[in-house]
Amino acid sequence: MPLALYALTIGAFGIGVTEFVIMGLLLDVGHDFNVSVSKAGLLISGYALGVVAGAPLLTGWMSRWPQKKALIALMLIFTIGNIACALAPTYGLLMTARVVTALAHGTFFGIGSVLATSLVPAERRASAVALMFTGLTVANVLGVPFGTWLGQHYGWRATFWAVGLIGVAAMTVLAAFVPHTEAPKTTDDWKADFKIFTRRPVLLGLLTTVLGFAGVFAVFTYIAPLLTTITGFSEGAVAPILLVFGGGLVLGNLLGGRLADKNLIGALLGSVIALFVVLALMGLALHDKIAAVVFVGLLGVTGFATVPPLQIWVLSKAEGSGQSLASSFNIAAFNLGNAIGAGIGGAVIAGSLHGLNAVPYVAAILPVSAFAVAWLAIRLERKAAISAPV
């Protein structure tokens, strides 16, 4: 794989840390600002909604920039946002800083995915995307557990200072290894790129992403209280268990890339069904410590096995100048699912008689819906291919 892909991976690593590390620090942030766990969980939803807002705005603005220039500028926004998080004196300002940080997220992965697929042969496109997303998954193996430990021992602000340094490192390697590319030569207005959203396969692919990841984050957002309250782990055990989840992410992401290169449709449908099975059984597994750890890892595997096939599906259905926009919107869809999942999980905790215990069972409904949408998209595509003139 070209060195430029590894530079993208480092940028993805920084983004992954800042997105997910807050989940291990919800109790610390809530205590510091005197807010409930459910309200602290809104910092995750706020970040996710920032990704959703930033994807069309920044991608539309930067779609005519050289890719290298755009990627470095996005990491600069990311770095400034994390420094602002570290300095935030109130919950409201921390929320604002999280949203600013999130603005760069979708566009970085959108432009980065298009660049990654352009650097390798067509039969390795899914693996190239998976390699870039490995930065996101390795963040959960190394960055998030370390960031959680750092925040618990030296204050959660120290974690955001550390992530800011990762942003500086990412800008450096992007400048060194990403090849220079000319700005896209097109006479079309950037608004023309939005025509991709008149394509039904693209829209159904985005909806599949939203529903699948809503299921993942309905559970993972509240993984710390689930493990401490239901399973009986100590708060200090959460960070090591997150290592297991992160390892599952790496394995699932790479596995999803390999399978998607061989059979895109099979990988797409199979990964969503596997996610349903894990969520449906996780409610039982949480009552046993060994089973809980195993299923935390399986949640990572099945959750991120969906990423490469979904990203390649959307890219393949948005050929042309709208690829960067479609790709960034798919990342926004991941994070919209994140926000919806966190909201559903919080509502179940607050309103259900069974509270935390009911979260995995409710979450399992969402990948079933994702499978139905993906199956519909595939069926419509096949029908269109049969009826197309030869």
The CA distance from 382 to 384, in Å, is 5
Helices (H), the chain: 3-24, 26-33, 37-62, 67-87, 91-102, 105-118, 125-138, 144-154, 156-177, 200-220, 223-225, 238-262, 264-285, 289-305, 307-316, 323-351, 359-363, 365-387
Secondary structure (3-state) at 235: helix
Per-residue pLDDT of the chain (390 residues; tens, 9 = 90+): 677 888 888 888 988 888 878 877 888 888 888 887 777 878 877 887 888 788 777 877 777 788 888 889 999 999 999 999 999 998 889 999 998 888 888 788 888 887 887 777 777 777 787 788 788 778 877 777 788 888 888 888 999 999 999 889 889 988 888 877 766 565 455 566 666 666 777 788 888 888 988 998 888 888 888 888 888 888 788 878 878 888 888 888 888 888 888 888 888 889 899 999 999 999 899 999 999 999 999 998 998 888 888 888 877 777 655 677 777 788 778 878 877 888 888 888 877 656 788 888 889 999 999 888 888 888 877 776 665 554
Task: Produce one character per residue of 244-267: b if its CB has 16 or more CB atoms within 10 Å, e if not.
Answer: bbbbbbbbbbbbbbebbbeebbeb
Residue 228 DSSP code:
I
- This prediction's pTM: 0.74
Name residue 29's amino acid: V
The CA distance from 224 to 111, in Å, is 33
Residue count of the chain = 390
The CA distance from 315 to 205, in Å, is 10
> Which residue bears the tokens 């919800």?
26
- Whether residue 250 contacts residue 13, with contact meaning beta carbons closer than 8 Å, is answered with no
The CA-CA-CA angle for residues 205, 270, 384, to 5°, reads 45
Secondary structure (3-state) at 199: coil
150: which 2 tokens? 């750092």
Domains and CATH numbers, the chain: 3-182+190-387 (1.20.1250.20)
29: which 2 tokens? 């942030």
